[in-house]
Amino acid sequence: MEEPDRRVRRTRNALHRALIELMMERPYDRITVSDVIARADVGRSTFYAHYRDKDDLLVVSCAEHLRAEIARSPDRGRWAPVRVMLALAAGYPQVYQPLIGPKASSTALRGYRHSVATILREHFAERSGAELDDLGVTTLSWALVGLLTAVTDPAAPVAPDAAWRHFESHYLNPPPDPPS
Protein backbone atom coordinates (compact mmCIF):
# COMPACT_ATOMS: atom_id res chain seq x y z
CA MET A 1 0.00 0.00 0.00
CA GLU A 2 1.45 3.36 -1.03
CA GLU A 3 1.97 5.85 1.78
CA PRO A 4 0.26 9.25 1.29
CA ASP A 5 2.46 12.35 1.31
CA ARG A 6 3.03 14.40 4.46
CA ARG A 7 0.37 17.00 3.70
CA VAL A 8 -2.26 14.32 3.17
CA ARG A 9 -1.22 12.53 6.38
CA ARG A 10 -1.25 15.81 8.31
CA THR A 11 -4.74 16.70 7.04
CA ARG A 12 -6.15 13.24 7.70
CA ASN A 13 -4.59 13.17 11.18
CA ALA A 14 -6.05 16.60 11.97
CA LEU A 15 -9.52 15.48 10.88
CA HIS A 16 -9.24 12.22 12.80
CA ARG A 17 -8.01 13.99 15.94
CA ALA A 18 -10.78 16.59 15.67
CA LEU A 19 -13.46 13.91 15.41
CA ILE A 20 -12.09 11.99 18.41
CA GLU A 21 -11.83 15.16 20.51
CA LEU A 22 -15.41 16.06 19.65
CA MET A 23 -16.58 12.53 20.49
CA MET A 24 -15.02 12.96 23.95
CA GLU A 25 -17.13 16.09 24.43
CA ARG A 26 -20.52 15.05 23.07
CA PRO A 27 -22.41 12.19 21.42
CA TYR A 28 -21.41 11.29 17.88
CA ASP A 29 -24.88 11.97 16.48
CA ARG A 30 -24.58 15.59 17.64
CA ILE A 31 -21.32 16.16 15.73
CA THR A 32 -21.48 17.65 12.25
CA VAL A 33 -18.96 17.86 9.45
CA SER A 34 -18.88 21.62 10.15
CA ASP A 35 -17.84 20.89 13.75
CA VAL A 36 -15.05 18.59 12.57
CA ILE A 37 -13.63 20.99 9.97
CA ALA A 38 -13.78 23.91 12.39
CA ARG A 39 -11.89 21.93 15.04
CA ALA A 40 -9.34 20.63 12.50
CA ASP A 41 -9.01 24.06 10.86
CA VAL A 42 -9.57 22.47 7.44
CA GLY A 43 -11.73 23.70 4.60
CA ARG A 44 -14.96 21.96 3.62
CA SER A 45 -13.68 21.09 0.13
CA THR A 46 -10.53 19.60 1.69
CA PHE A 47 -12.67 17.43 3.96
CA TYR A 48 -14.71 16.16 1.01
CA ALA A 49 -11.55 15.53 -1.01
CA HIS A 50 -10.65 12.91 1.63
CA TYR A 51 -13.97 11.60 2.97
CA ARG A 52 -17.58 11.17 1.81
CA ASP A 53 -19.10 12.12 5.17
CA LYS A 54 -18.42 11.90 8.90
CA ASP A 55 -19.22 8.15 8.95
CA ASP A 56 -16.55 7.60 6.29
CA LEU A 57 -14.07 9.64 8.36
CA LEU A 58 -14.87 7.55 11.43
CA VAL A 59 -14.58 4.17 9.67
CA VAL A 60 -11.41 5.02 7.73
CA SER A 61 -9.74 6.62 10.75
CA CYS A 62 -10.54 3.67 12.98
CA ALA A 63 -9.28 1.18 10.38
CA GLU A 64 -6.02 3.11 9.95
CA HIS A 65 -5.60 3.33 13.72
CA LEU A 66 -6.33 -0.40 14.09
CA ARG A 67 -3.72 -1.31 11.46
CA ALA A 68 -1.14 0.84 13.26
CA GLU A 69 -1.96 -0.72 16.65
CA ILE A 70 -1.72 -4.25 15.25
CA ALA A 71 1.66 -3.39 13.72
CA ARG A 72 2.81 -1.93 17.07
CA SER A 73 1.58 -4.88 19.12
CA PRO A 74 4.26 -7.25 20.40
CA ASP A 75 1.77 -10.10 19.80
CA ARG A 76 2.67 -11.70 16.48
CA GLY A 77 0.29 -14.62 16.81
CA ARG A 78 -2.30 -15.63 14.27
CA TRP A 79 -5.10 -14.06 16.30
CA ALA A 80 -3.28 -10.90 17.40
CA PRO A 81 -5.73 -8.57 15.57
CA VAL A 82 -8.60 -9.96 17.64
CA ARG A 83 -6.83 -9.29 20.94
CA VAL A 84 -5.82 -5.80 19.77
CA MET A 85 -9.40 -5.00 18.70
CA LEU A 86 -10.81 -6.17 22.04
CA ALA A 87 -8.29 -4.10 24.01
CA LEU A 88 -8.91 -0.98 21.91
CA ALA A 89 -12.69 -1.30 22.22
CA ALA A 90 -12.40 -1.66 26.00
CA GLY A 91 -10.03 1.31 26.21
CA TYR A 92 -12.06 3.60 23.94
CA PRO A 93 -15.74 2.64 24.18
CA GLN A 94 -16.82 6.21 23.35
CA VAL A 95 -15.12 5.80 19.95
CA TYR A 96 -16.49 2.33 19.25
CA GLN A 97 -20.10 2.94 20.33
CA PRO A 98 -20.85 5.23 17.33
CA LEU A 99 -19.35 2.56 15.05
CA ILE A 100 -21.02 -0.57 16.41
CA GLY A 101 -23.35 0.42 19.24
CA PRO A 102 -27.14 0.46 19.20
CA LYS A 103 -27.27 3.99 17.77
CA ALA A 104 -24.66 3.35 15.06
CA SER A 105 -25.70 4.22 11.55
CA SER A 106 -25.97 1.27 9.20
CA THR A 107 -23.30 2.91 7.03
CA ALA A 108 -20.83 3.11 9.93
CA LEU A 109 -21.61 -0.43 11.08
CA ARG A 110 -21.24 -1.98 7.63
CA GLY A 111 -18.15 0.11 6.95
CA TYR A 112 -16.46 -0.91 10.18
CA ARG A 113 -17.35 -4.59 9.65
CA HIS A 114 -15.86 -4.35 6.16
CA SER A 115 -12.69 -2.75 7.61
CA VAL A 116 -12.39 -5.56 10.16
CA ALA A 117 -12.81 -8.16 7.40
CA THR A 118 -10.17 -6.46 5.24
CA ILE A 119 -7.70 -6.25 8.12
CA LEU A 120 -8.24 -9.92 9.01
CA ARG A 121 -7.82 -10.97 5.38
CA GLU A 122 -4.57 -8.96 5.13
CA HIS A 123 -3.27 -10.32 8.42
CA PHE A 124 -3.92 -13.96 7.55
CA ALA A 125 -2.43 -13.57 4.08
CA GLU A 126 0.75 -12.05 5.59
CA ARG A 127 1.05 -14.59 8.43
CA SER A 128 0.19 -17.84 6.75
CA GLY A 129 0.17 -17.10 3.06
CA ALA A 130 -3.32 -18.57 3.01
CA GLU A 131 -6.37 -16.52 2.27
CA LEU A 132 -9.63 -16.97 4.10
CA ASP A 133 -12.70 -17.53 1.98
CA ASP A 134 -15.20 -14.66 1.77
CA LEU A 135 -17.89 -16.36 3.82
CA GLY A 136 -15.39 -17.27 6.55
CA VAL A 137 -14.10 -13.70 6.76
CA THR A 138 -17.63 -12.28 6.75
CA THR A 139 -18.73 -14.64 9.52
CA LEU A 140 -15.64 -13.97 11.61
CA SER A 141 -15.88 -10.19 11.19
CA TRP A 142 -19.55 -10.10 12.25
CA ALA A 143 -18.72 -12.32 15.25
CA LEU A 144 -15.97 -9.88 16.23
CA VAL A 145 -18.28 -6.90 15.85
CA GLY A 146 -20.69 -8.70 18.20
CA LEU A 147 -17.94 -9.25 20.76
CA LEU A 148 -16.77 -5.65 20.44
CA THR A 149 -20.35 -4.52 21.03
CA ALA A 150 -20.41 -6.54 24.26
CA VAL A 151 -17.07 -5.05 25.34
CA THR A 152 -18.32 -1.48 24.75
CA ASP A 153 -21.82 -2.01 26.23
CA PRO A 154 -22.31 0.97 28.56
CA ALA A 155 -24.75 -0.94 30.79
CA ALA A 156 -22.72 -4.12 31.30
CA PRO A 157 -19.35 -4.14 29.51
CA VAL A 158 -17.60 -7.48 29.09
CA ALA A 159 -13.91 -7.43 30.00
CA PRO A 160 -11.62 -7.91 26.98
CA ASP A 161 -10.04 -11.01 28.58
CA ALA A 162 -13.47 -12.60 29.04
CA ALA A 163 -14.40 -11.71 25.45
CA TRP A 164 -11.13 -13.28 24.24
CA ARG A 165 -11.80 -16.49 26.23
CA HIS A 166 -15.28 -16.64 24.68
CA PHE A 167 -13.86 -16.14 21.19
CA GLU A 168 -11.18 -18.73 21.79
CA SER A 169 -13.54 -21.36 23.18
CA HIS A 170 -16.27 -20.88 20.55
CA TYR A 171 -14.31 -20.09 17.41
CA LEU A 172 -10.83 -21.53 17.85
CA ASN A 173 -11.68 -24.60 19.91
CA PRO A 174 -15.39 -25.14 19.34
CA PRO A 175 -17.08 -27.83 21.38
CA PRO A 176 -17.76 -31.04 19.47
CA ASP A 177 -21.12 -31.47 17.80
CA PRO A 178 -23.54 -33.49 19.90
CA PRO A 179 -24.08 -37.05 18.70
CA SER A 180 -27.01 -37.39 16.33
152-179 pLDDT per residue, tens:
999 999 999 999 999 988 877 766 777 7
Residue 149 has pLDDT above 90, yes or no: yes
82 and 140 fall within a common domain = yes
Residues 73 and 136 in one domain: yes
Higher pLDDT, 50 or 99: 50
127 in helix, strand or coil? helix
Q: Residue 131: its pLDDT value, please? A: 66
* Mean per-residue pLDDT, 100-119: 86
Predicted local distance difference test score (pLDDT) of residue 180: 67
pTM of model > 0.75: yes
Would you tell me the crossing angle of helices 134-151 and 160-167 to the nearest 10 degrees? Answer: 150
Q: How far is residue 76 CA from its own chain's centroid?
A: 19
**Across 107-114, average pLDDT:** 86
For residue 45, give its domain range: 1-51
Task: Note the pLDDT of residue 18.
Answer: 95
Per-residue confidence (pLDDT) for residue 36, from 0 to 100: 97
User: Cβ atoms within 10 A of the Cβ of 119, count?
Assistant: 20
Asked whether residue 165 falls in the same domain as residue 116, the answer is yes
Q: If you average pLDDT over every residue of the chain, what do you get?
A: 88
In a domain, 133, yes or no: yes
Q: Is residue 177 part of a domain?
A: no
Q: Provide the pLDDT for residue 141.
A: 92
pLDDT at 142 over 60: yes
Residue 114 maps to a domain: yes
Q: What are phi and psi of 41, to 5 degrees?
A: 55, 50
Residue 180 included in any domain: no
Contact 73, 80 (CB under 8 A): yes
